[in-house]
Amino acid sequence: MTGLLPEGFHDRLPPYADAAARLERRMLDSAFAYGYEQVDPPLAEFEAALGARLKAANARDAVRFVDPVSQRTLAIRPDITAQVGRIAATRMAHHPRPLRLSYAGQVLRLSASQLRPERAMRQIGCELIGLDSVEAAREVVAVAVEALEAAGLTGLSIDFTLPDLVEALGVVPPERLRTLRDALDGKDAAGVAAIAPAYLPLIDAAGPFDAALARLRASDHAGPLASRLDGLAAIAASLPASVTLTLDPTERHGFEYQSWLGFSIFAAGVPVEIGRGGTYTVMHDGGAEEPAVGFSLYADPVLAAGLAPAGRRRLFMPYGTPADIAAQWRREGWVTVAALTPDDNASAQLCTHVLGTDGPETT
Amino acid sequence: MTGLLPEGFHDRLPPYADAAARLERRMLDSAFAYGYEQVDPPLAEFEAALGARLKAANARDAVRFVDPVSQRTLAIRPDITAQVGRIAATRMAHHPRPLRLSYAGQVLRLSASQLRPERAMRQIGCELIGLDSVEAAREVVAVAVEALEAAGLTGLSIDFTLPDLVEALGVVPPERLRTLRDALDGKDAAGVAAIAPAYLPLIDAAGPFDAALARLRASDHAGPLASRLDGLAAIAASLPASVTLTLDPTERHGFEYQSWLGFSIFAAGVPVEIGRGGTYTVMHDGGAEEPAVGFSLYADPVLAAGLAPAGRRRLFMPYGTPADIAAQWRREGWVTVAALTPDDNASAQLCTHVLGTDGPETT
């Protein structure tokens, strides 16, 4: 059983590996067209530095090892966003803002979840650093949607949330916040009513975007909620009508590090979230904080859902075909597959065409 | 110093990360046009299975960790070739031969060498499995050359070697082979003469390809050498005249696992080897062996040598430019960078052009 792989790790074989690479290229090209340029941080870093920028759950999930060179503990990244934050706060600290960065790379996690069984996966994303305004969030959401549509996904839906809403409303004393958050997370209306009845409309408001927004506007919360709702409305209005929007104002799971805005992205036919993002804070040396907004996409669930790889179109070169003839067909856009022995044949090589006397013939 | 990285690890920043990605795309596209389709094995595997397919030096160099799920030791790959061999021997064992596979991905090594100081790097390559004939080797060398030329490299040179020559000639008793090899590795003419004077021409033959080949043909070795020299001559004759060829018939360093053919690739202006390859054997379950030939390229030394990234051509969208206007310029091939505040300006955003009333104007 030398071919067996650990749980959560897998090989991607032809033609799916090429399909995944094409998907990733299209996503990165979409972001590039909006001015997002790639950074490529290393697979491993000093654990202490990386851990300080990771969510606690991610830090626990990182593979660690002792580096024989530095005699210090290094960690394999479980997430690339933290590394992009480090780059923005250190080597690119003096680069003018807003800073638009994209990335694509492998991440590794010790544990998997039921929803996300992979432990090695590719993360692709964009971060806009220096702003977390409505304009900035609108651009980032637009880039995410355009990148996914460029990759061929249809039936996109975005579920917005307002992660810091409970704190921002500020009507509950700090010592009861935890209990309130637990009640809201569990959609426990009785529990919420017992602590702060004013929060009940937040539970009821979850659902299709326009209706949820209207219900929230009709609730009696003042300033903090109003400005967030205006922001959400502006972001929603800028998105193409093809994208379904929902709003779950108190959803915080996985958004613990987001500030005023969070969002999850889903696509028709894909059972799990395919991406997520939101506003957050980049920490600088000395404690300064910088606003930012970004998103991450995962190629694996999209491909696993059966996104069709492009059809193969391969032209078989019979044994003895001169190299310059094959080169000529490649210049015309063909994939050429050369017979290297007299016994090689077109169908075994998955060729759709064979080079005949008058050019390519279908097999 | 939260920005400090371990020795041998580095960030690639704009515009070099995009340049590296473009380079890699061109290499993979070149191979794809010859029928090589990508496989994407995972970053980590069971140590025992991966180690069995790695050179001993590489296996020692792998980062290992205990997997909490399987309670077994996993290793991060220090090399992707071994994984491609595993795929060919297991999941793709019944796929018709020859099997043409390509790959690109991150590898991680605990130790670095003076020549190759990076410990995290990207490996890109192609493997042709099922044949190690002259025709097969000729195709693989041609793909390597075309991939590097497509990536913009010039002044390529290939240094061929015949790794199993000493064994193949068979004129030295097995117990003296080790001593002979050491003498040959050290180009120690006196040492070689003391063991087997017949091998002296092999040392003298190192150098420019045609002259080296002529000297070897003139030496008094029989069969095994003649067939290898005919093969080398055929491979050399098929390469474009722009590629400089050399031959060092006894060079074995790093080619311990190669069979009859090995080669190193260099490029003008790059102080270190940029790729290497050769013929080898893929192990199947049960001990069966299958011939193969392939090459690996390293993007890092090429980029480090200053391969010029493409010029930026970015169009600044003044604050308030409608989204559909920006989209129109992107469709025309521009990178658009939107002002998100009234204070954003074109030069800080590295824009070469600003959208004026009559279209793009240079800044």
* pLDDT at position B170: 76
pLDDT above 50 (res A1): no
What tokens appear for A293 in the block? 């907004």
Give the per-residue pLDDT at A75.
96
d(CA A182, nearest CA chain B) in Å = 29
Q: What is the pLDDT of residues A280-313, one digit of tens each?
A: 999 998 889 999 999 999 877 777 665 656 677 8
% of chain A at pLDDT higher than 90: 64
Q: What is the Cα–Cα distance from B98 to B279, expressed in whole angstroms?
A: 14
Q: Which residue has the higher pLDDT, A32 or B192?
A: A32
Does B175 have pLDDT greater than 90? no
Q: Is A44 on the interface with B (CB under 8 A)?
A: yes
pLDDT at B221: 62
pLDDT of residue A310: 65
B196-250 pLDDT tens trace: 887 888 888 889 999 999 988 887 665 678 889 999 999 999 999 999 999 998 8
pLDDT at A222 over 70: no
Give me the phi and psi of B338, to 5 degrees please: -85, 135
Contact check, Cβ <8 Å, B136/A340: yes
**Interface contact B69-A8, CB threshold 8 A:** yes
Ramachandran angles phi, psi of A93, nearest 5°: -60, -30
Task: Decide which of A115 and B318 is more confident.
Answer: B318
Residue B298 DSSP SS3: strand
Distance CA B287, CA B279 (A): 18
pLDDT tens, position by position, B256-312: 788 999 999 999 888 889 999 999 999 998 889 999 999 999 877 777 665 656 677
Is residue A80 annotated as involved in ligand binding?
yes
Residues 337-356 of B with CB under 8 A from A: 337-338, 340-341, 344, 348-349
Q: What is the pLDDT of residue A243?
A: 97
Q: What is the pLDDT of residues A53-74, one digit of tens each?
A: 988 778 889 999 999 999 999 9
Question: What are B31-72's pLDDT values in tens digits?
Answer: 999 999 999 999 999 999 999 998 877 888 999 999 999 999
Q: Using 50, 70 and 90 to split pLDDT, how confident is the model at B1?
A: very low
pLDDT above 60: residue A2:
no
Alpha-carbon torsion angle A246, A249, A250, A254, nearest 10 = 60
Listed in sequence order, the residues at least 6 apart from B226 whose beta carbon sits closer than 8 Å to its beta carbon are B217
Q: Which of A142-151, A172-181, A280-289, B145-154 has the weakest average pLDDT?
A: A172-181
Q: Determine the pLDDT at residue A261.
A: 96
Residue numbers in A near B349 (CB within 8 A):
35, 96
Segment B263-273, tens digit of pLDDT? 999 998 888 89
Report the distance separating Cα A75 and Cα A51, nearest Å. 8
**Amino acid letter, residue B189:** A
CB contact under 8 A, A40 and B63: no
Q: What's the pLDDT tens digit per position in B67-123?
A: 999 999 999 999 999 999 999 999 999 999 999 999 999 999 999 877 778 899 999
**A169 phi and psi angles, rounded to 5 deg:** -65, -35
What proportion of chain B, given as a percentage, has pLDDT over 90? 64
Put residue A254 in one of left, alpha, beta given phi > 0 → left and psi -120 to 50 → alpha: left
- Would the CB atoms of B13 and A91 count as touching at under 8 Å? yes
Check whether B357 has a pLDDT greater than 80: yes
pLDDT of residue B254: 79
